[in-house]
Amino acid sequence: MSKVYFAKQITPESLIEIYHKLGVELKGKVGVKVSTGEAGAKGYLKADLIGPFVKSLNGTILECNTAYPGERNNAKDHMKVAEDHGFTSFADVDIMDAKGEFRIPVHKGKHLKYDIIGENFKNYDSIVNLAHGKGHMMGGFGANLKNQSIGIASRNGKAYIHSCGKTKSPKLCWVTKHEQIDFIESMAEAATAVADYLKENNKQIIYITVMNALSTSCDCDSNQDDPVMEDLGIVASLDPVANDQAFIDLIWASKDPGAAKLKERIDTRLGREILPYAESLGLGSRKYELIEF
C-alpha cells in the first residue's frame, strides 16, 4: 500500500514540508515539471506559491510545446508566456523540445508503440512532477498522470498520445477519430513509459499535486473557467497512481456543492478510468494510506 501525504493548508511552507515528508533527497540536476499555463489561463501554479520550493531544490522549470494552436506551440512564444506568468522570476525555464525530441519504449499497452518526449529531459537526474489538480476538457481531470504523459511529451509526442498512436502530426491529431477510452489509456501508457525510462536510467521522481483553483477546465485553456469548489490542499507520494487516486477521492468526499460540476466533467470524459488502467500497467497502486499532517 502506497503512502500519500496530505496537507490541508496550501502555502509555500506546506509545499516544502510535504516534500520533506517523502523522505527523498533529490540528487544531481533537478527538473520540476509544471504547466506554465496558456496565455489567458488563471489556474496555473503561481510563482509566490511554488517559487520558494523550486529555489530550495535549485530546480529548473520543465515544459514542452503544445500540439494545439496557441501561445505555447513554439519555444519563443512559450518562453514569453512562462516569463509573463512569473516562472522565470525564480528559476531557469527549459522548453525541453525546443531543439529536438527522442523516443522511449512503451513496454506494455495496446495503443502506443513508444512515447516521444522533449530532448532535454535527458539532462536531469531527478524530477519533481508538480501538478496543478483541476478538471480537463478532454481528459476529465489533470494531475500527476496527465503531467507525466501529455506534459513531458514533445509537441509531436502530444499529437501521438492524443491520436492514440495514429499520427505524430499536430495538425492531423485533432481530426483523427478514436474512442475516448483509448485516449485515456494512451495517457496512462505514456506516463508509464516515462516512469520506466527514469527507473532504467537510475533517475528519481516524486509526485506532488496542489489542489487549488479547482476549475472544470485546464490551465491549457486560454478561457479557463473560474473555480467551482473549495481548495482541497496538497497531496504528495512516490506513487503517481495513488496520488491521483487520492485527489479524486478528496473531490468525491467533498461536501462542497460545486464538486458536482467537477465530478460531472471527470466522469463524462471517463477520466477515472486512467487509474485502474495505469495500475494494470504496473505504474502504481490505487490502494494507499492517507497521512495528514
User: Tell me, what's the pLDDT at 219?
Assistant: 85
Burial of 188 (0-12, 13-18, 19+ CB in 10 A): buried
Burial of 253 (0-12, 13-18, 19+ CB in 10 A): exposed
Q: What is the mean pLDDT of the chain?
A: 97
Name the grid cell of 147: 503531467
User: Tell me, what's the pLDDT at 46?
Assistant: 98
Per residue in 134-175, pLDDT (tens digit) is: 999 999 999 999 999 999 999 999 999 999 999 999 999 999
The number of beta carbons lying within 10 Å of the beta carbon of residue 155 is: 23
- Whether the CB-CB separation of 225 and 261 falls below 8 Å is answered with no
Q: Which residues are CB-neighbours of 69 under 8 A, at least 6 positions away?
A: none
Helix axes 180-200, 155-162, angle to 10 degrees: 130
- In CATH, the number for domain 2-292 is 3.40.50
User: Tell me, what's the pLDDT at 188?
Assistant: 98
User: Tell me, what's the pLDDT at 141?
Assistant: 98
What's the N-to-C CA distance of the chain in angstroms? 19
What global pTM score does this model have? Answer: 0.98
Q: Which residues are CB-neighbours of 223 under 8 A, at least 6 positions away?
A: 40, 217
User: Tell me, what's the pLDDT at 223?
Assistant: 82
The number of beta carbons lying within 10 Å of the beta carbon of residue 252 is: 12
User: Tell me, what's the pLDDT at 222?
Assistant: 84
- Whether the CB-CB separation of 60 and 124 falls below 8 Å is answered with yes
SS (H, E, C) 178-240: CCHHHHHHHHHHHHHHHHHHHHHCCCEEEEEEEECCCCCCCCCCCCCCCCCCCCCEEEEECCH
Q: What stretches in the chain show pLDDT beneath 50?
A: none
User: Tell me, what's the pLDDT at 70?
Assistant: 86
Domain locations along the chain: 2-292
User: Tell me, what's the pLDDT at 237?
Assistant: 99
Nearest to 213 by CA among 41, 70, 4: 41
- Whether the CB-CB separation of 45 and 140 falls below 8 Å is answered with no
3-class secondary-structure state, position 263: helix
Distance CA 127, CA 147 (A): 12
